[in-house]
Structure 1
Amino acid sequence: MNRTIAALFDLDGVIVDTESQYSIYWNNVGVKYLSDPDRFGDKVKGNTLRQIFEKYFSGREEIQQEIVENLDKWEHDMSYDYIPGILDFLNCLRKNDVKTAIVTSSNDVKMANLYREHPDIKSYFDVIVTANQISRSKPDPECYLLAAKLLDADIQNCYVFEDSLAGLAAGRAAGMTVVGLSTTLPFSRIEDKADIVISDFREFDFDKLMSIKRS
């Protein structure tokens, strides 16, 4: 059995504190294009652009293009502050020979904005999986299974860190141990969808990760 341990991290709401900014953008999209005042951002959280367009804007190419152009501008100007404790935790994983990956629904254009603000972020991860590398998005487990394959890690030794319902479901469907972060949704919304829920990475280390019991 391959004994490689791997930690697989969603990006928004897990590594960087951006979800509230996305909620503002997508809520505005819902009001403008769908006459939907009921927090459209919550409905599309964790979905790729392709999923959003297929479900809500199918056949409306001009609107899709407007949304993409406006989203690119929005992401360019967003702040990408780290979730508290994440860098210390990543360094701790490195010291314990844990392989790491970013597994995100973001595309390569968005990632370029992240790299511009945090040019050192790539050094913390062995693999980065984006929306451009997969055909099926969360809650499908394809992205996490791909990351495990690229890291040469058995799924039994993989730990998924997620904040969204779609992401948590993807980790479960992949058969991996799931750590939920209550950075985006309250504890009560995700506690039954993860093996453990944490508020952020402060006071969370390798030993606590290894003590998690899979449900």
Structure 2
Amino acid sequence: MRDITNAGFLFDLDGVLIDSEKEYSKIWSQVNCEYPSGTPSLEKIIKGCTLDKILDDHYPDPEIRVKVVKRLYELEKLMKYDYTPGAEYLLKRLKELKQPIALVTSSNDDKMAHLDEEIPELRGLFDYIVTADQISKSKPDPEGYLLGAEKIDRDIRNCVVFEDSLQGVKAGKASGAFVIGVAGTLPKETLAPYSDIVIDSLTELNIEELVKIASQRNE
């Protein structure tokens, strides 16, 4: 199918493909207790942001930054990763249909290395992976999604973006892609203004129909 379509698929990681958002909320809540940022509910505000942006915005003191990063990595190493419902099937079905797929994550290379240990086959399901280490601007800036589309050789207007955070759907919408908001991390009504459709689970999707929609958007 890849030869006769223009579609491309760009995925966020946490909360979309990997069931980790609740764990990250606990981790950042704990970090915020141990090293107070002065921002209540920090774990909610930072969703979709790169670590560099979180540190720049909330931990300007260089000495505290070092301690925060060390503690974050300690807690991350204890995390267990698993697919969200429908995620594994969706990725593998897109591969069967020979559709280009990129991961666009706010995670850095260190976290991706830990993910490789937990779900070693995941990396091979993508044609390209954009991490925080490859971009200069965090979501809601569209830089990551524009780079992802470029790397899989697709017009961003023919790409489908999957996101669960407010920063993420804003980035997808700003890029010009077709945005699917995945509720759970946030309620549907929060994601809806920046999404073309909002779903509760990836199991709801008609994959072949999505390929068709994306392919026809730029005609």
Question: Normalising TM by the smaller chain, what interval?
Answer: over 0.9
Runs of 4+ in 1 over 3 A off after TM superposition: 35-38, 210-214
CA distance in structure 2 between the aligned counterparts of 1:122 and 1:50, rounded to whole angstroms: 23
1:203: Cα distance to partner?
A: 3.7
TM-score, normalised with respect to structure 2: 0.91
1:28: Cα distance to partner?
A: 2.1
Give the 3-state SS of the residue equivalent to 2:29 in structure 1.
Answer: helix
TM-score, normalised with respect to structure 1: 0.92
2:75 maps to which residue?
74
Query: 1:89·1:205 contact (CA, 8 Å) conserved in 2?
Result: no
CA RMSD, 1 decimal:
1.9
1:74: Cα distance to partner?
A: 1.2
Q: 1:190 and 2:187 equivalent? A: no
1:46 maps to which residue?
48
1:3: Cα distance to partner?
A: 4.6
CA distance in structure 2 between the aligned counterparts of 1:37 and 1:51, rounded to whole angstroms: 14
1:62: Cα distance to partner?
A: 1.3
Percent of aligned positions with the same letter in both sequences? 44
Indicate the larger mover: 195-204 or 115-124: 195-204
CA distance in structure 2 between the aligned counterparts of 1:32 and 1:204, rounded to whole angstroms: 41
Query: Counterpart amino acid of 1:71?
Result: L
Query: Counterpart amino acid of 2:74?
Result: K
Give the 3-state SS of the residue equivalent to 2:181 in structure 1.
Answer: strand
CA distance in structure 1 between the aligned counterparts of 2:47 and 2:182, rounded to whole angstroms: 14
1:45: Cα distance to partner?
A: 1.1
Q: 1:34 and 2:36 equivalent? A: yes
Query: 1:3·1:154 contact (CA, 8 Å) conserved in 2?
Result: no
Query: 1:47·1:166 contact (CA, 8 Å) conserved in 2?
Result: yes
The unaligned stretches of length 5 or more in structure 1 are none
2:127 maps to which residue?
126
CA distance in structure 2 between the aligned counterparts of 1:205 and 1:70, rounded to whole angstroms: 41
Count of matched residue positions in the alignment of Structure 1 and Structure 2: 212
Query: 2:7·2:211 contact (CA, 8 Å) conserved in 1?
Result: no
CA distance in structure 1 between the aligned counterparts of 2:37 and 2:133, rounded to whole angstroms: 30
CA distance in structure 2 between the aligned counterparts of 1:35 and 1:96, rounded to whole angstroms: 46
